[in-house]
Structure 1
């Protein structure tokens, strides 16, 4: 048995041992287990394509095992707990749930993929990994899960407000396929933190442009340079601001879409994303995009929201639907 796989590990569907043909997600999980148990030291991972063309990368199984160890330690997860597999085993988030279950000897319950999965739960669980899209409109259902981690897309202000009645533990994650899932956690409930905290074995620094560098030797990254702009509090803690490759330079002012979008979304009452268009005076002008009807917002309301004159949209556009990944993350190069 590779990597000291826990003998109590079980893969279940509707409370009984999973068999091939029970469900598409179950077959994907079994396919991953077959690949995991082969002698090949690496696993193929598919990126989401949110920032470019989806691609396949190779990672070492030993790194995935270490990542699982760090997550279990950071969250204090016990052995032989009941966990929920609610994400596709074709991507890193779903694969890592299986690896954590193998390490911890968990009973891993396979569920059909759905944005309404929280409505369908028939029992409580000790641990689950979800994407924000699965929680929006259903946040109080997180009380059925002892500890939940949310990843794949940022947690916006609206979803955070929804969690006011959540009494169980909820964390937002920071990571990428190259780091084999998350390498930092931010507590959202029962306490709300502004900063991400490194899991064991990871430290941070920044370059001259305040872009995050990840130092994670056991993940095979002595120095991984990202395009995430952060405020570094110490070598283990940072506040995330946005992506430098998404920055819009308007009139010489750098605008982070990730800062503007939550404010506009709260004003409008639905999701708003921003991009830019060529402008003779400003170089680039900010453009806001919504699904459906374009809202009418007064200048006074926009100014009172805390947005600067440069961060105020110069035009609004409507689309029938946003280009999104399966995890609910905007695909900006298509936007």
Structure 2
């Protein structure tokens, strides 16, 4: 894929009498999130890009390839667009095992090459151990990761995701989101992800496209767009979470706690987790469970006091999100806006994060040792 292999589009489609989709959008090799309430036109936008529906007018281009152009009458069929898709329903073939499902899109490839590609995508989607299983024996999260691997197997130039985690439990949601981030880095393709969940938008997107009544009304870094969206924005940030990868370093002798070394980050003391040292784990910490402090710190019951530096502050009404850098990873901390003034916080300020061990939730294991990133 070349550096210019980006998605660019402008299109119009009348959905019904009260809603016309009128969108202009560009996406490079990054993960863009289309965010908006139900009925805003998010799913229709993906279907138009994929070729499942036809715009009334406009142009859709992927790199040097024009997918649709109303002036010339060009409208490439879905099979020629080289676009992968995952939806709420994984749509796996029930009569095929996982390996055969993943290889389905590789028909026509030499046998050994197809097998090698299947094994490659299975590995970074985290389903290598499931290849002989039938879909009916898989959990919802496992099925979605298999669906992701199947979508990626033919080497698509673009991946479209329509709320793929909406039916999953919280652990499976985070696992799939982490896999999508891994996929984007490994395959270096544009990903366009549709959601109405703030947590997902912040977790995955490098850019957010805010869709309302069929039009993109703002675009940019997710935190900035959501904070600028006006009334009700503060409720969008409730439950914002940090998600990190780490390795078990040691356990307390009384089995009361576990020391987890975050990848490219500090030690984090978490509740005891019965895994041997060296095990890869994912840990979640809610942004509103973290305290900020300046000056000498002593006499605390909290097990984690971590030095850091303020990177950025985003204020929205009476609330604020503070991005704090600790070693090579960043945290997002939710505070009330007056705390920013009281602590004299500004980019470059030195402070400490105070995190209770019981605020750290272990979610999953099996992640590769890659640089940790939080949900932003």
The structure showing larger relative contact order (alpha-carbon pairs under 8 Å, at least 6 residues apart) is 2
- TM-score calculated relative to the size of structure 2: 0.28
Rg comparison, structure with higher value? 2
- TM-score calculated relative to the size of structure 1: 0.30
